[in-house]
Structure 1
Amino acid sequence: MKINRLISVISLLGFFATSAVFAVSEEVEDQLLEKAIVESAVTKEQKTAVGNYLKAIAQQKTARAEELRELARRSTGGKFVASNVQSQKYLKQAQTLEKEAQRYQSVLGNL
């Protein structure tokens, strides 16, 4: 019994020792990369390239948000509750994408 407990404690300690202490979310990572890209753009050509990149990303996110809103409007058949939950999920994803697109537009405006 004590051996099993000892093995489980060692396993947990091993798991925590190997996990990342400074984990960064994908959103924060994207923001840091964008900041680095924008700050590294010095010449007019570099700023134009970064601006085109940010504009394209914002357009992609806006287009995907519209696709998700269209999916939310469609009737998938089946149970009402399940369909409603799926629609709410699509709408939430669309709102998140629109916020990200607005963030890209604001970064683009500050360029």
Structure 2
Amino acid sequence: MHSTLIVARMASGSADDVAELFGAFDRTEMPARMGTRRRQLFAYRGLYFHLQDFDEDNGAGLIEEAKTDPRFIGISEDLKPHIDAYDPTTWRSPADAMARRFYHWTAS
């Protein structure tokens, strides 16, 4: 399994709205199209953490292909009032908000 973690800033009181937007999005075939197996959203002191799990390390390629889908474009627009880049001066795409895993452990 491959995971990605996006870190951003979330407007105060937006957690329910963001969860609702993703709930509607995840009821479509878009997660399967992107290879998403699990999505978890976390909030901590104004920060937003978006953890996605994929079967394989091809999530980035599948997401890139899905970016032109009107549903992907729509959720991206719908999230704008709620989610801001962690560092707006360096943000150009979601890849600029990806946390880098530096340790991993799995029980045998």
Normalised by the size of structure 2, how large is the TM-score? 0.24
Which structure has the bigger radius of gyration? 1
Q: Which one scores higher on RCO, CA 8 angstroms, separation ≥ 6? A: 2
Normalised by the size of structure 1, how large is the TM-score? 0.23
Please state which structure has a larger fraction of its residues in helix: 1
